[in-house]
Amino acid sequence: GQQVMQIPQYQHVQEGEDFTTYCNSSTTLSNIQWYKQRPGGHPVFLIQLVKSGEVKKQKRLTFQFGEAKKNSSLHITATQTTDVGTYFCAWVDYGGSQGNLIFGKGTKLSVKP
């Protein structure tokens, strides 16, 4: 099935620095979702993007969906220690598989105070 590749696998930043994680697909995606998982926690839905070139913001987080709908990014401005966790992109396959969520492997963010 369609896979989404996510980079980097790990990112260590100083508090106040910016952070970006990228999600790439070899084929066009109908949608992309982003989730955050805190250490020891469960994935929590952040946002869904469906339109070519779409940009959405949530406070310090900016989400983009590429023009060709083959890539997406999550950018965090001025990271805080509360941003620590693993960020996953995921794609919902609304085709024959009844809307299953296919995850990238995630980017683990650590923030040094």
Partner 1 sequence: DAGITQSPRHKVTETGTPVTLRCHQTENHRYMYWYRQDPGHGLRLIHYSYGVKDTDKGEVSDGYSVSRSKTEDFLLTLESATSSQTSVYFCAIRPGQQMVNYGYTFGSGTRLTVV
Rule CB under 8 A: which residues touch partner 1? 1, 31, 33, 35, 41-48, 50, 88, 94, 97-106
Judged by CB, which is closer to partner 1: 44, or 55? Answer: 44
Dump the DSSP string for 85-105: EEEEEEEEE-STTSSEEEE--
From CA 21, how far away is CA 90, in angstroms rounded? Answer: 13
Taking the least distance from each CB to partner 1, the nearer of 85 and 106 is: 106
Phi (first) and psi of residue 29, to 5 degrees: -105, 145
* Residue 13 vs 102, nearer CB to partner 1: 102
Q: Residue 15 Cβ, how far from partner 1 at the closest point, in Å?
A: 26
Q: Enter the tokens of residue 16.
A: 């106040």
